Amino acid sequence: MTPDLAIDIRALRKTYGKGASAKEALKGIDLDVRRGAFFGLLGPNGAGKSTLINILAGLVIKSGGSAAIWDWDTDSHSREAKRAIGVVPQELNIDPFFSPREALELQAGLYGVRKRDRRTDEILEAVGLTDKADAYTRSLSGGMRRRLLVAKAMVHNPPVIVLDEPTAGVDVELRRSFWSYIRRLNDEGVTILLTTHYLEEAERFCDEIAIINHGEVVARDTTEGLKKRLDHKTLTLRTDTHLTEVPEALVGLDCWVTVGGRLQIRYRASEAQLEDVLARVRLAGLTIADLSTTEGDLEDVFVALTSESGSEAMAAQ
């Protein structure tokens, strides 16, 4: 394993079942995450994300390939690999008879964290559970229970933290404070691996993103790099007249009129310059009062890469 990698995955495979009913969840994935990164792993339900995470956590036995965390192979040095990672699972698997404080203290004890090194109060405050620290877990809301799962993943101070849908069911204010704490951890050198369906979170926080679909990595790049793959922009125009339909002179362009009477034109940046598009508009006899351009966001890229029609369209570009 390369020393500057937090996670190193090579030809990783996982097949569930045997014979005709066998399902290949991971198809020889290669993936690495550098130390200190804030890395996003995105994909639709059933893409293989949870299988990959569970292999890293030592909960699922791989069918082939290798996986290492912080230089520790998950097979030959499984104990060290488990200590190097903290996983926040999707499932709310919490003992209802413990308080959050007790749950964190027990988790720290299981990892052999000495009492003087424990950060129970700091972590409870970070995830917004200080006022519920001594309440029964069964009395917590779903969002609070999810925050407790995040807290449990942090107690042994792992250099790698996996966040599997960490803010599902968490309100906006607490989500903001949670991300502030995670960003601070990342600034201190903790490697973050995030899976989320809130794509705006991945776009905001992640340095790099890999998109997985049908057990394969279909794309990996920076957020900006992924967005550039779409190669299209949308121009929105307000003209001096209220439009109800596309002018005849613009028929043939990929354009339409909004309910508010604005003209929107989609074009490929690699094939046309903005001035060329504006020239067509002027030739149609329209006077431009205001304009704006937008590029595709991460959600557009995600849909394009994981939907059958979208992936075919991108392949044709």
Confidence of residue 313 (pLDDT cuts 50, 70, 90): very low
Q: 67: which strand partners?
A: 9
CATH of the domain at 281: 3.30.70
Residue 81 burial (10 A CB sphere; 0-12, 13-18, 19+) = buried
46 phi and psi angles, rounded to 5 deg:
85, 5
CATH of the domain at 42: 3.40.50.300
* Residue 142 sits in the same domain as residue 240: no
* Residue 196 sits in the same domain as residue 236: no
Give the pLDDT of residue 1: 54
* Residue 215 sits in the same domain as residue 239: no
* Residue 185 sits in the same domain as residue 278: no
Name the domain boundary from 226, 259, 280: 226
Give me the percent of the chain exceeding a pLDDT of 70: 94
Whether 93 shows a pLDDT value over 80: the answer reads no
Residue 62 domain-assigned (yes or no): yes
Residue 312 domain-assigned (yes or no): no
* Residue 220 sits in the same domain as residue 239: no
Give the pLDDT of residue 302: 82
Residue 151 domain-assigned (yes or no): yes
Average pLDDT over residues 56-65: 92
Residue 311 domain-assigned (yes or no): no
Name the domain boundary from 226, 250, 269: 226
Give the range among 189-203, 204-218, 234-248, 301-315 with minimum mean pLDDT. Answer: 301-315
Confidence of residue 312 (pLDDT cuts 50, 70, 90): very low
Name the domain boundary from 226, 242, 267: 226
Name the residue with higher pLDDT: 231 or 300: 300
- Stretch (H or E) spanning 69: strand 64-69
> Could you read off the pLDDT of 3-33 as tens digits, one per residue?
699 999 999 999 998 888 889 999 999 999 9
Give the pLDDT of residue 299: 80
Domain that holds residue 282: 231-295
Of 50, 44, 51, nearest to 16 (Cα)?
A: 51
Tokens matching residue 297:
């966001």
Tokens matching residue 3:
């020393």
140 phi and psi angles, rounded to 5 deg:
-80, 150
Residue 184 domain-assigned (yes or no): yes
Give every CB contact of residue 115 below 8 A, 6+ residues apart in sequence.
none
Question: Average pLDDT, whole number, for the chain?
Answer: 86
Confidence of residue 233 (pLDDT cuts 50, 70, 90): confident
Per DSSP, 247 falls in state -
Residue 77 domain-assigned (yes or no): yes
Give the pLDDT of residue 88: 83
Per-residue CA distances from 96 to 132, 139, 270 (Å): 13, 8, 57
Q: Which stretches of the chain are DSSP H helices?
A: 49-56, 78-83, 100-110, 120-126, 142-154, 172-187, 199-205, 223-228, 274-283, 298-306, 308-316
Residue 273 domain-assigned (yes or no): yes
* Residue 33 sits in the same domain as residue 149: yes
Number of folded domains that form the chain: 2
Whether 315 shows a pLDDT value over 50: the answer reads no
Average pLDDT over residues 191-213: 91
Q: What CA–CA distance (Å, rounded) separates 20 from 28?
A: 20
Residue 304 domain-assigned (yes or no): no
Give the pLDDT of residue 120: 94
* Residue 244 sits in the same domain as residue 215: no
* Residue 189 sits in the same domain as residue 155: yes
pTM of the model as a whole: 0.77
Whether 200 shows a pLDDT value over 70: the answer reads yes
Whether 37 shows a pLDDT value over 70: the answer reads yes
> Could you read off the pLDDT of 134-193 as tens digits, one per residue?
998 888 887 788 888 888 998 998 999 999 888 776 777 778 877 888 898 899 999 999
* Residue 254 sits in the same domain as residue 280: yes
* Residue 38 sits in the same domain as residue 182: yes
* Residue 109 sits in the same domain as residue 74: yes
* Residue 218 sits in the same domain as residue 258: no
Give me the percent of the chain exceeding a pLDDT of 90: 39
DSSP secondary structure string for all residues of 95-159: -TTS-HHHHHHHHHHHTT--GGG--HHHHHHHTT-GGGTTS-GGGS-HHHHHHHHHHHHHTT--S
> Which of 103-112, 168-177, 300-309 has the highest mean predicted lDDT (pLDDT)?
103-112
